[in-house]
Amino acid sequence: MRLAPLLLALALAACGTQSPRPVADRGEEPPAAVPPAPTFKTEAKKPAAPVKFGGGYKDDGPGDNPPDIEAIPDAVPKPEPLHRFANNPYSALGRDYVPRREHKPYAGRGIGSWYGRRYHGQKTSSGEIYDMYGMTAAHPILPIPSYARVTNPANGRSVVVRINDRGPFLAGREIDLSWTAAAKLGYVGQGSALVEVESVLPGQELAAAPVPAPAAQRSEEEDDPIAKLAAAEAESPLPQLRDERGHFLQLGAFGNRDNAEALRARLGRELGDLAGKIVVQSAGKLFRVQLGPWPDATAARLAGGRLRESLGMNPLVVQR
């Protein structure tokens, strides 16, 4: 298994529930049964592989015959009723999110990523079908549906998109755009870019998009904490995952299965080759999104410790 996807799995794996967790969920073992130390790889160091996240997939992108993106118009804001379930509070990757339930001004700045044909035709958090040729986006807290203007300060390009999905959930990420929207902003080739997001309220008259102007560009790794993490972790590989029952890292928990499946699909884009390791487990009234298994509790706790040090997450180890 290649190293880069594994490291990104660690950068994403954390716990997230909104209800009290039973003690048994923590997977604690009695003092007399301390598992053996995990075995680390000893292969020679190799240059870090390209980071696979968002638009970073080499096999992601447009279809074989993409349309002329310049002929695709921006989303046109219009009054719409808010989605019944997609704006409920939720937890993902150890963080709690409270989506907005009313339209009010919003301005944000952070890393923007994109997703393409690998998720074309799949359901979004709103239940709508994702269209990589549409002018849509995913945002952690903006109302679903709502509209936002996204600007790439590196080149001055700007687009208006319709928010119909949740994510991204990685630290430093602000918004996840459709392939077309990211292509219009000029960052499809590099996978991600620093962007500015401003809400567009119903009935608000859209100002003309700013004229693109050259600006000093920063490297993707300089702006993206996840790329930095992957490069640093490449110096000390973590234990491999194994295809068997055992210890898992809990990524989120929801009272609605559709929301859990939506998180699994979104994290699948981030985890690349490890997407098949993400499962949704039903436990009572909760649907838990988990990644694993790890060889033993020690290996899982080691991964959790690095998550805390690198991303400030507080992962939960569970056993099944």
CA distance 112 to 197: 9
Helix (H) or strand (E) holding 51: none
Each residue of 86-112: pLDDT tens digit? 999 988 887 889 999 999 999 999 999
pLDDT for the residue 236: 44
pLDDT above 90: residue 135:
yes
Mean pLDDT along residues 37-41? 44
Tell me the C-alpha to C-alpha distance, in Å, between residue 197 and each of 49, 92, 183, 194, 201. Answer: 30, 21, 16, 10, 13
- Give yes or no for a contact between 185 and 159, defined as CB atoms under 8 angstroms apart: yes
Query: DSSP string of 75-101?
Result: P-----PPPSSTTS-EEETTEEE---S
> Is the CATH number 3.40.190.10 carried by domain 3-50+237-319?
no
What is the dotted CATH code of the domain comprising 54-223? Answer: 2.40.40.10
Q: Of 99, 85, 125, 91, which is closest to residue 19 (Cα–Cα)?
A: 91
pLDDT for the residue 57: 43
Query: DSSP string of 259-301?
Result: HHHHHHHHHHHHHGGGGGGEEEEEETTEEEEEEEEESSHHHHH
Q: Assign 210 a pLDDT band (cuts: 50, 70, 90).
A: low
**Token pair in block for residue 123:** 């359901």
Each residue of 242-290: pLDDT tens digit? 445 788 878 788 887 877 887 787 777 665 565 777 788 887 788 888 8
Strand order in the sheet with 278-283: 278-283, 286-294, 247-254, 317-319
Classify 20 as helix, strand or coil: coil
User: Where in the chain is CATH 3.30.70.1070?
Assistant: 3-50+237-319
User: Where in the chain is CATH 2.40.40.10?
Assistant: 54-223
**Percentage above 90 pLDDT, the chain:** 30
Q: Assign 189 a pLDDT band (cuts: 50, 70, 90).
A: confident
pLDDT above 80: residue 69:
yes
CA distance 223 to 88: 30
Q: Provide the residue type at 221 as one letter.
A: E
Each residue of 194-203: pLDDT tens digit? 999 999 987 7
pLDDT above 60: residue 296:
yes
